[in-house]
Structure 1
């Protein structure tokens, strides 16, 4: 996994030649000229899915040149920094997506106005099948303007009850300067960054701009995007695919078809970003996010509890149906294209989503007996009674690598997991962030494709964890180092900078060291990590906090001793028990060229065969309005898997069969479960409110793509599924449906 730290010039050139040869193979895959099955037939990959280490193809192949120590975990030559030093650029706050709002809380649902923004048709309950010309590179002819599968099966569920009241329009396109950066805070609270100055698509002002084929982001620009919403204010997000029609125009990796997953969203499968519901360049997809509390149709039906509420513009509360204990706060959204998720997310297809409620309203000075008053900002200063970002900061952590020209690069043939050698925060290289002497909330997302993080402060001072996976914990937990953070996990923490003086500096430090993409190799002490002696270049300091001033007004934010309790599931009968084992050596029992996939990783369901991904296979089908217990098992000790289950959160009952092994920060609601090497996690879940086909997979997205993913589904009509849903097969000329390729015997328990 590592190239020598004292690599010689000839050896470096040999590695660069191998990278270019691998790039040619990747481009052949992108053009559809070859498949991974072809690589197996030619002897270029093993039956386990590993690229054979051939000289001229692998930078790790035997060489006549000397090898020495190691420190570059990418499978690529070292990323050149062009003389750039760490902590010499400010960290940009996220770019807040514009919201086009309509009447909210009036009790009257007006007809949806003409869709604003770029020209296009109004959103509809069923997919819009109006015809348009298809690019010649995609086969020509005519195809639908919307890539959502057509007809009632993929119509927006609960459309009349949650008619869109806010519209957000985004594009997916190649990198370009951001001429309309909107951080949602003043430059003083954004480390002096002037939003009126064009923000270039580069990882540092002294690094090259990323080209439009290297970096694919929301709206084609940096910083990463932030979607803001509040409960029961339904959002219609129209996502336009403006990527190149030619699949080979991808800078060496990534696929131009996309499917946007709103991670942990509680809504119908048509809006979930199902891995097989992808859409093509020239099309859009309307995603409908109702943003309702879990149990909306079964708990607190009269909407009498103000804790189950949404913040009004006037500072009050709109009381809603559902369970306040299901309140969510920090989500993210990213691509979920089948077998290309890791590449597309790595290229920039990732943003964050803050959800506000009567409990977590983002206005720390509103003291109404319900608002938890977490660090955010004052409504009395901003005039905003919810969603203040002054002291509420999103952090997206990701490791990256780039080639000799400074363009983003990835080795798509490392099926164990890809690791970069450069650490980024909010998609810039090791920045600094100016803070005041007061409490801040940080919403930390692990947006890497294979790397785990373990975060501490360089001086070992305490942090208070208040949330895990976007859900506020029952009680806050004080820690001097956070737990290892798996890919896609979100940790919300509070840091109190009042203990420092103006002029002081303190750093966020990563303690987790990797030798390969299968799992972390070890966690270092703070002293070891700060010393900079780890062979892993992403260990150590990665974000510098500069304490610059006292706050202009006293800090009135709080971290209450009680946050949000868990729903009580102890009295709910268990309808079924299921076991999913995640491991290597997967077989493929189907041969559909679109929905099935070859790869070394797989999932074994209820003691059956270890199977590679096929999104046409139904592996589980829980009944609507039931509760089940699922046990997730790591099939080996040589790797770790952060497992994500779509649509419904779970409560961790036990680790390795023992309730006492569940740490305090995992005792809230979760949607990603780190199994740990050789370990297991037992969870309890409910299935309510919506239906359709969903996914379960490893969120080491390289493992997911190769091919540790399964499909499960729930019949949203309120009765047990007697027949599985048909599988969508997208093409530029339209989506067709076929019967599932396989239904496991234990799916319908």
Structure 2
């Protein structure tokens, strides 16, 4: 079976695929624009009752035929004469922090329900300016607590692609360290390569509508208020054939109240904003080290010192990201560009490699500022993409196994190069794909040092010549020492993971196989070139210590409950609400119950506040690979496939995404502390998530305002209403 049309495909095969693409496009457009529902498509025979596209020639170019299955549904993306490694990799665009007094209107503890006119395209009338659900239940937890009250303000818009004007882009490094790109005089046009077409504003939606992707830099003890403005077109039909203009922003693995978690059913509309309160506190801040006496639990000061903060220093986090979590549209909206990164700095990981205070780990970063230096600390967002014959971003919303693009991008640039000095660099690598896994190596088999997984520094660094398979949403922080190379050397980052479909990796190739160019998967091989061309500007003062952050010891905390979640196919829908319920080929089974399709009005688990539980995650079989994400609390892996010995070193730290692998199981333990509300658990192959592999769970204390069970928000442009849960599983409590 081939996954993309061969370069030597016959003219008749190309015509067949293109005709199928055009025929299906009308249905894609109608479904994505809300003109028809999936239930109507079942009646018409376009979908099967299981939620799969009917295998009909002339409609589905990935049905069986003489030329196999083609998940992209189109011929390979044209390159328009672009040559690999001829454009620079630009650093992330750092969002500008501001004082809380700059926010207008001022943020409020409960949602701001001031009325404004609503576009006739959204039903007209009047609705609130803030899309956050109103009232005490969705009020910002800890908003009036001096330890958690917001101190730093960030604002960003969600809008269509446009140029990043000269003088606006802020890489926070010199032009020399950004491949000689001068942001003061040079605009950044929105195209994947200078020889490729500009992206249309209905095809790509990013933070502020611009390239490169955005980066928020925060530090513990300095809580953030992130105001997200929805400036997408209120006309739902102007979406370029995929994506929806309602959004919900999830700060991935953020330790804060559910009102700020980007709950899939708490979305907001064009013309509204949503104030997200990210307190950035150490987990356990209400029960561990409450008097802030431990030097290792701290935040970096501007003068080079440290302020102590309460909480468990072993719960310190470093590399996060945030992205859309709109119900049943997450894959489409993230693919369109709704993804950014978030670096968190601490006394342990302060982003200054020279300060030697006995706490700072002195990881590669730089020395100019007391904290948050990015000179040698580089964010990399990896994502496969596909575009049509006009060069416009393309997506197949009918590929329920998992969508695969055929072109590799780094920070949304196609196969770029990056200039480095002969010294140690830290790379924070995010897999921001929809369904693709990666397995990374350097082209000369040189070692890399993995220091973090999922935003959490490992107990000990791990030296590898090939990283483990990296699931969707996982973050791998690695250190590469370029001092081993002579000036003028070029070395490449290589992807070894070959896909044949969106189910899983088909095969991990050897380095020589991946470099041969013989794979049918166009995303195998070199995708980022490192050029060791910059003379060393100053001595490398960074280090990678043998001990990073040990895991918290949970042995003294009793286990209140054990739960089992199985992820598989054949999820049935027991509720029929057109807003909160969804059907699809996927589902989740809880505690040996039914395999259920997603409904954000259903409560599947409700652990008690202040308790610890053990959860077993099971793959239901079928040869699939599911990267499972549990919101809010990071966990520790106790066993893989029933054995603690099968947990590899790079999974022995704290995690928030758990690879199940075909037929596999993972047993984890988690605590439920500090905050409450409704959270989610789902497969982060976002195509699986959007097609019903998602559930809601919640934490409450049984008192006001955290009622048991919590009412479900139902958003409209004219205001959010609440209703009782659609369903509460008998084993939830």
Given the two structures, how large is their TM-score scaled by the length of structure 1?
A: 0.95
The 5 A counterparts of 1:135-154 are 135-154=119-138
Is residue 30 from structure 1 mapped to residue 26 from structure 2 by the alignment? no
Cα deviations across residues 386-407 of structure 1 (Å, max 9, x unaligned)? 0000000000000000001000
User: What is the CA–CA distance in structure 1 between the aligned matches of 2:346 and 2:576, rounded to whole Å?
Assistant: 46
The number of residues matched between the two structures is 726
Is residue 313 from structure 1 mapped to residue 302 from structure 2 by the alignment? yes
CA contact (8 A) 1:47 1:600 kept: no
Q: SS in structure 2 opposite 1:337?
A: coil
The corresponding residue for 2:97 is 99
Cα deviations across residues 693-720 of structure 1 (Å, max 9, x unaligned)? 0000000000000010000000157899
Q: SS in structure 2 opposite 1:113?
A: helix
Q: SS in structure 1 opposite 2:564?
A: strand
Is residue 735 from structure 1 mapped to residue 724 from structure 2 by the alignment? no
Give the counterpart of 2:171 among 172, 176, 183.
183
Is residue 607 from structure 1 mapped to residue 609 from structure 2 by the alignment? no
1:14: how far off? 2.7
Is residue 18 from structure 1 mapped to residue 2 from structure 2 by the alignment? no
User: What is the CA–CA distance in structure 1 between the aligned matches of 2:666 and 2:279, rounded to whole Å?
Assistant: 30
The corresponding residue for 1:42 is 44
1:433: how far off? 0.5
1:602: how far off? 0.4
1:114: how far off? 4.7
Unaligned runs of 5+ in 1: 102-111
Cα gap change, 1:152/1:719 in structure 2, threshold over 3 Å: closer, same or farther?
closer
Q: SS in structure 1 opposite 2:34?
A: coil
CA contact (8 A) 1:626 1:687 kept: yes
The corresponding residue for 2:648 is 663
User: What is the CA–CA distance in structure 1 between the aligned matches of 2:241 and 2:309, rounded to whole Å?
Assistant: 48
The corresponding residue for 1:193 is 181
Is residue 438 from structure 1 mapped to residue 420 from structure 2 by the alignment? no
1:488: how far off? 0.1
Unaligned runs of 5+ in 2: none
1:76: how far off? 1.8
Cα gap change, 1:632/1:61 in structure 2, threshold over 3 Å: closer, same or farther?
closer
Is residue 277 from structure 1 mapped to residue 263 from structure 2 by the alignment? no
The corresponding residue for 2:693 is 708
1:61: how far off? 4.4
Give the counterpart of 2:709 among 721, 724, 727.
724
User: What is the CA–CA distance in structure 2 between the aligned matches of 1:248 and 1:73, rounded to whole Å?
Assistant: 24
User: What is the CA–CA distance in structure 1 between the aligned matches of 2:61 and 2:374, rounded to whole Å?
Assistant: 45
User: What is the CA–CA distance in structure 2 between the aligned matches of 1:722 and 1:127, rounded to whole Å?
Assistant: 18
1:122: how far off? 1.0
The 5 A counterparts of 1:553-568 are 553-568=538-553
Is residue 218 from structure 1 mapped to residue 225 from structure 2 by the alignment? no
CA contact (8 A) 2:639 2:666 kept: yes
1:31: how far off? 3.1
Cα gap change, 1:716/1:268 in structure 2, threshold over 3 Å: closer, same or farther?
farther
CA contact (8 A) 2:565 2:590 kept: yes
1:549: how far off? 2.9
Cα gap change, 1:177/1:722 in structure 2, threshold over 3 Å: closer, same or farther?
closer
Is residue 514 from structure 1 mapped to residue 474 from structure 2 by the alignment? no
The 5 A counterparts of 1:151-550 are 151-161=135-145, 162-179=148-165, 180-196=168-184, 197-378=186-367, 382=368, 384-550=369-535
User: What is the CA–CA distance in structure 1 between the aligned matches of 2:439 and 2:702, rounded to whole Å?
Assistant: 43
CA contact (8 A) 1:266 1:291 kept: yes
1:22: how far off? 2.1
Q: SS in structure 1 opposite 2:101?
A: coil
1:68: how far off? 5.2
1:194: how far off? 1.9
Cα deviations across residues 702-747 of structure 1 (Å, max 9, x unaligned)? 0000010000000157899772100000000000001000000000
Cα gap change, 1:719/1:148 in structure 2, threshold over 3 Å: closer, same or farther?
closer
1:21: how far off? 2.4
Give the counterpart of 1:681 among 666, 673, 686.
666
1:560: how far off? 0.2
1:32: how far off? 2.2
CA contact (8 A) 1:583 1:601 kept: yes
1:2: how far off? 2.2
Given the two structures, how large is their TM-score scaled by the length of structure 2?
A: 0.97
Q: SS in structure 1 opposite 2:218?
A: strand
CA contact (8 A) 1:624 1:720 kept: no
